[in-house]
A and B are shown apart, each in its own frame.
Chain A
Amino acid sequence: MKWRKLGHIFDPSKHSLPNNCAEYAQSPQALVLQDRVRIYFSTRESEANGKFLSHIAFVDFNKKMDCCLGVSDRPVISLGSLGCFDEHGIFPMNVVQHGEDIYGFTCGWSRRVSVSVETSIGIAVSRDGGRTFERRADGPVMTSSLREPMLVGDPFVVMLGGVWHMWYIFGVKWAPANNVDPAPARVYKIAHATSVDTINWARDGKQIISDVFGPDECQALPTVLKIGRRFHMYFCFRQATDFRKNPHRGYRLGYAFSDDLVTWTRDDQSAGISFSPNGWDSAMLCYPHLFESEGSVYLLYNGNEFGRRGFGLARFEG
């Protein structure tokens, strides 16, 4: 796979965003509209207790992706009510248009005590062309289950042949804190679910992408696009610990392909995109998102510090 990096296209600190959000534009997700490409991302509001709330905002680009048209001027979706799965953040929201309907598949965050967080997947619907979304219900459509004990999140949804396919992640464990890592460390893997109605999902809790770092590898944010007859998946992966500031252990992009949506062959060597020698994506690459606009295939992704300074873009060159 060959990619041409088009650079750091969005820096949240250079825009005025709702909810007093000034830093982070994480997990960019595109909705290709008739006259523009709307890119949703998660940005952060600081609370007095030092914790963050993740909010969804968007920025519009022209369809050639070379001109920024403006950012959302109001909250895109509210956070969940007291005690709900998405009370403390939505990160990310995958937006899918199907006929007249625009769905937002959310990864909702709620804080825990013995570990930092738990996540589940919810659904929201937009009735104004993707400017705002309302959750369909207070509860999630996918949460932990017998074989997926925690941290169900990062949905990426596509309708293929009348069936909804979702790639997502689930947690396999929290490793206890130790001398090196003062907080418990989570480990999560990529899985696949299908549905005919977007509400009831069939899943078997099986990891579909093999590990290269071993059982403690963390795999996140799968994104899938069909090019020709082959399905291509990008995702990010890292070591479970010491990953925030150590580029040797932090997020980078992984790649896998499949011809049948059942068996995936991992082939990171063919990913075709890696760290830049210097600059905004020199120490980390994460949260990839594939989409097509005007006949070109693009890859959105975050760089250093998990997208604190925004995201960049690359174009597929074959």
Chain B
Amino acid sequence: MIRIAAVVRFTCLAALSDHPDMFKWVKLGKVFDPTTGSRSEWMKEFAQAPCVLKFEDFIRVYFSCRPAPDSRGQYVSRSAYLDLDRKNLFNILSISEQPTIGLGDLGSFDEFGTYPTSVIRWNGQVWAYYGGWTRCDSVPFNVAIGLAVSNDDGATFSKSGPGPVLSYSQEEPFVISGPKIRQFGDKMFLFYIAGERWLTNSGRPEPVYRIRMASSRDGLIWKKHNEDLIPRRLETNECQASPDVYFSNGRYHMFFCYRYGLDYRNHSRGYRIGYAVSEDLEHWARDDSRAGIDVSSEGWDSEMVSYPHVFELDGSVYMLYLGNQVGRHGFGLARLEGSL
């Protein structure tokens, strides 16, 4: 039955797209713009890396935002959420009044930012895995993944410890970031990025990072897979981020974003959304031509699209994603026609 349904779907889409298996996402528009929709000093701009937690009447979208930069132009990144009406995802019910996760103490891995955040219901609590940012001397930053736990259904979080839950290791020497937490069967999986090398870039170093995975029984002790999951396509300096894995119809679907390693803050080299599929979580077949969502010809997502997050709600599959300037002006929503 499943196979027959798939054939029918492919036949229908063939008329609409170049690739017979391409997904079709219908862009519904921008959901939230922090530069106009927030009155908090700690939420002046950017609403990055959205991630959904479902409730009965609403969905809570976690994201990372920033206050104005300091006198040297440097930002910190804070974690926040907003609640969207389940019956109308463009109706914002409320916005968190305080950051959901505190910044780390002096000298800690997360002193200068918590970005991004990925949440899951686990053991009757809500667990948040987040990238903690510190500032370095020879390179601008380093990142390791922290854990914070909520006992009030995801409104406030306290850290499980002062240090990171997943950090640098022999094969992953720096920039352990972009966590996406999932449960498949009785195991937890973290999809994340790991830095491979820093490009000197004439004194303004930029990291090259790739998509990685770790698994755990308890969410605290993690076993790293220590392999790149997604082959490079653009160039050896390609950077990959936001590995968002969604299980549907017996397969694991990953939407992620990727860009060139340098000079990427523009239309031609900036982030695009890619796609890969796997039967076993370890072996992935990349086929960006199936992703089915690209930059618009004009408007808020005309230069880049990035940080996809796929979720199902009331019979439809949606994607939240960032537009130009990696979410400086917020995130938007698309709906899938058909199924994954």
Contact = CB atoms under 8 A, between A and B. Distances in A.
Contacts of A115: 106-107
A85 B170 contact: no
A112 B135 contact: yes
A150 B109 contact: yes
Contacts of A84: 173-174
Contacts of B173: 83-85, 137-140
Contacts of A141: 169-170
Contacts of B147: 146
Contact of A114 (B107, B142, B163): B107
B213 interface: no
A113 interface: yes
Interface in A122-178: 122-123, 136-141, 143-151, 171, 173-176
A199 interface: yes
A268 interface: no
A171 B168 contact: no
Contacts of B295: none
Contacts of A122: 170
Residue among B139, B160, B162, B165 facing the most chain A CB atoms (10 A cut-off): B162
B145 to A, nearest CB: 11
Contact of A140 (B138, B169, B197): B169
Nearest to B112: A114
* A contact face: mostly helix, strand, loop, or mixed: loop
B233 to A, nearest CB: 24
* B contact face: mostly helix, strand, loop, or mixed: loop
Interface in B102-119: 104-109, 111-112
Contacts of B135: 112-114
Contacts of B207: 83
Residue among A87, A145, A171 facing the most chain B CB atoms (10 A cut-off): A145
B169 A150 contact: no
Nearest to A170: B163
Contact of B108 (A81, A88, A139, A150): A150
A122 B198 CA distance: 19
Contacts of B160: 146
Given A112-B135, A139-B174, A173-B105, A149 B169 contact: no
B108 A111 contact: no
Residue among A87, A136, A138 facing the most chain B CB atoms (10 A cut-off): A138
B138 A111 contact: yes
B197 A120 contact: no
Contact of B106 (A139, A147, A151, A184): A184
Contacts of B137: 88, 110-113
Interface in A82-103: 82-85, 87-88
Contacts of A146: 147, 160-165, 220
A199 B223 CA distance: 13
22 contacts: A82-B197, A83-B136, A83-B207, A88-B138, A110-B137, A111-B136, A113-B134, A113-B135, A114-B135, A115-B106, A118-B134, A120-B168, A122-B170, A136-B170, A138-B173, A139-B171, A146-B147, A149-B107, A173-B106, A174-B107, A175-B106, A176-B106
Given A112-B107, A143-B169, 9 more contacts: A83-B175, A112-B137, A137-B173, A138-B173, A144-B144, A144-B167, A150-B107, A184-B106, A184-B107
Interface of A: 81-85, 87-88, 110-115, 118, 120, 122-123, 136-141, 143-151, 171, 173-176, 184, 186, 199
